[in-house]
Amino acid sequence: MLKVEEKLFQDRYRVDSGRPHIQIKDGEICTHKCAEQQCTVCCPAGCYTQEGNGKVVLIADGCLECGTCRIICDEHRNLEWEWPRGGFGILFKFG
Amino acid sequence: MAEKFDVIVVGAGMAGNAAAYTLAKGGLKVLQIERGETPGSKNVQGAILYSDAIEKIIPDFRDDAPLERHLIEQRVWVLDDSSYVGTHYRSEDFNKPPYNRYTIIRAHFDQWFNKKAREAGALTICETTVTELLLDGKKVVGVMTDRKGGEIYADAVILADGVNSRLATKAGFHPEIKPKDVALAVKEIHFLPQETIEARFNIGEEEGVVIEMAGTISDGMMGTAFLYTNKESITLGIGCMLSDFKKQKTTPYELLDKMKQHPSIAPLIEGGEMKEYAAHLIPEGGYNAVPQVYGDGWLIAGDAGMFVNGIHREGSNLAMTTGMLAAQTLVELKQAGKAFTAPNLAQYKAKLDDSFVMKDLKKYRRMPDIFHKNKQFFTTYPELISKAAQKLIRVDGVDKKTKEKEIKQSFVASRSVFGLIGDAFRFWRAME
């Protein structure tokens, strides 16, 4: 199984500790109403993981700020999605 | 902040920098706001720079812009799992200045472009996120930022805030982007010695090669891949429509790694040191996905307006051109003493319609729909074409007439006669 962490390790971030810019609105919706949980497949930084009990856990520290998760969550609109505060988040060296 | 500006530009990408530069040159008081640490630190592109678009803004850009290689060869590959069938076009005509296309590294280029805007008189503040637009009724009167006392006022705001276009969505100017209208692209940059790159691609100093790819590497999804040569690095990536990504179980990074392992691609990046992994959405909805791009006190430019020509892999030139045209509209109105009202800003749309931007998008308006509904162009055909080429090339004692017959039969078996005719028609309609 390919580890995306090895790729993200090359990237430069300034993490806004304790202030995640993306949050799941209602975890119950992910667990009980979303069969596919495609955020766990489509996020290019692997920020979303499936827990054994059907829960989806989001850790946004490695976020590449693409917007994929927000756009594919079009059935439930279950994300609070904002840009990180100015100067925080991914800082591309090359882009 | 009590200070008021003529125009606020949100974003310091291709569209934002083109707009800020043009506004400042036109004598307007312009504030540009960028959320990254520096201009370019949030921006992702392949990246190819088309000289024509930047030349119209900064004619002598070649003097000091950070350019990687000018392109002398274009390769288009159709891949199946073990092969590629391709066309290569290399011309000495592309090796004579002024060069037509260059590879660039966005983090470097955007800093240069922004410096030009600041030298022209624009004020740029970085590390500042615009959180929403300030509205007076329906009119945009400024922006709210995440700085202390974060309200800033202006007579107009140019939204060059990129594909996610958060500000226009929040203000209700257009609905949320649909998965069928954007592609998710992931890419990596691999560093190699300059001589290695030049030997591998049979190119001289400063000469570059582009490879555009489609086929089974997109795993049945509507998508394309690319590989570009920079001075001391190679960037490669793959992008597929989000609506397709949504329906399957391969992660974007697995797709990228599969591409890197393809027998035609792996030798090209062999020994390289990967120094960055990036992801970005590309607005590929085309003509029918372009939203309302102006209103009272606001204009949208670049990716935020879905200005990308997916079929020709053009985006940054449309971004620069729309940024420039938005700014020119405001400069002309200001000079004429006219207010930035919606009826007056309609001139921006007229300029867009009159430019290559909307003409090209209109030409390919059917393309996204046709490719969405006909995945055989990304699955069946690459394999058929590869097998046909192999059959013709492999010498094995079978006569050529029989080989041709077998090839014809393989196409009919996969798509039927009517299917083939229909596909030819659909492909022509998409490109018409």
* Domain ranges across chain A: 19-81
Residue B118 is predicted with a pLDDT of 98
Q: Under 8 Å CB-to-CB from B180, ≥6 apart: which residues? A: B241, B242, B243, B285, B368, B372
Task: Work out the mean pLDDT of chain B and round it to a whole number.
Answer: 96
Residue type, B384: L
ipTM: 0.98
Question: pLDDT class for B342, splitting at 50, 70, 90?
Answer: very high
CA distance to partner chain B, nearest, from residue A14 (Å) = 10
Q: What is the mean pLDDT of residues B78-92?
A: 95
B276: closest CA among A44, A17, A70, A60? A44
pLDDT single digits (tens) A52-78: 899 999 999 999 999 999 999 999 999
Residue from the list B108, B163, B186 with its beta carbon closest to the beta carbon of A67 = B163
With 60 as the cut, is the pLDDT of residue B292 above it? yes
Residue type, B260: K
Per CB-CB distance under 8 Å, the chain A contacts of B127 are 86-87
- Chain A residues bordering chain B (beta-carbon distance below 8 Å): 2, 4, 7-8, 10-11, 14, 36, 38, 41-42, 44-46, 64-68, 70-72, 74, 82-87, 89-95
B322, B307 Cβ separation under 8 angstroms? yes
Residue B162 Cα distances to B84, B167, B284, B315, B388, angstroms:
34, 10, 13, 11, 42
- A19-81 belongs to which CATH class? alpha beta
CATH code for B180-283?
3.30.9.90
Per CB-CB distance under 8 Å, the chain A contacts of B252 are 42, 44
With 80 as the cut, is the pLDDT of residue B39 above it? yes
Whether residues B105 and A95 touch (CB distance < 8 A) is answered with yes
Closest residue, chain A, to B243 (C-alpha)? A72
Closest residue, chain A, to B161 (C-alpha)? A83
Tokens of B332: 């002309």
Closest residue, chain A, to B273 (C-alpha)? A10
User: How many whole angstroms separate alpha carbon B169 and alpha carbon B299?
Assistant: 13
Residue B423 is predicted with a pLDDT of 92
Per CB-CB distance under 8 Å, the chain B contacts of A82 are 131, 166
Q: Find which of A71, A77, A81 to mutate to test the B interface (most B CBs within 10 Å of its CB).
A: A71
Q: Which residues of B87-103 are buried (b: 16+ CB within 10 A; e: fewer)?
A: eeebeeebbeeebebbb
Residue B2 is predicted with a pLDDT of 59
- CB-defined contacts A:B, below 8 A: 140
Q: What is the mean pLDDT of residues B97-124?
A: 98
Whether residues A87 and B249 touch (CB distance < 8 A) is answered with no
Tokens of B235: 């960037």
Whether residues B254 and A93 touch (CB distance < 8 A) is answered with no
- Looking at per-residue pLDDT, the higher value among B191 and B1 belongs to B191
With 80 as the cut, is the pLDDT of residue B1 above it? no
Strands (E), B230-381: 233-241, 273-283, 294-295, 298-300
Per CB-CB distance under 8 Å, the chain B contacts of A41 are 245, 248-251
Whether residues A86 and B279 touch (CB distance < 8 A) is answered with no
CA distance to partner chain A, nearest, from residue B428 (Å) = 31
B244: closest CA among B187, B286, B284, B189? B284
Residue from the list A72, A82, A93 with its beta carbon closest to the beta carbon of B107 = A93
Per CB-CB distance under 8 Å, the chain A contacts of B37 are 14, 87, 91
Whether residues B281 and A66 touch (CB distance < 8 A) is answered with yes
Residue B145 is predicted with a pLDDT of 98
Closest residue, chain A, to B165 (C-alpha)? A67
Whether residues A94 and B275 touch (CB distance < 8 A) is answered with yes
With 80 as the cut, is the pLDDT of residue A1 above it? no
CA distance to partner chain A, nearest, from residue B382 (Å) = 25
What is the helix, strand, coil percentage profile of chain A, to 5? 25, 15, 60
Whether residues B176 and A71 touch (CB distance < 8 A) is answered with yes
Whether residues B277 and A7 touch (CB distance < 8 A) is answered with yes
Q: What is the mean pLDDT of residues B368-392?
A: 91
User: How many whole angstroms separate alpha carbon B415 and alpha carbon B377?
Assistant: 11
Percent of chain B's residues with pLDDT above 70: 100
Per CB-CB distance under 8 Å, the chain B contacts of A7 are 188, 253, 274, 277
Sorted by where each begins, the domain ranges of chain B are: 4-66+104-174+291-363, 180-283, 369-431
Q: Which fold has domain B4-66+104-174+291-363?
A: FAD/NAD(P)-binding domain (3.50.50)
Residue B430 is predicted with a pLDDT of 86
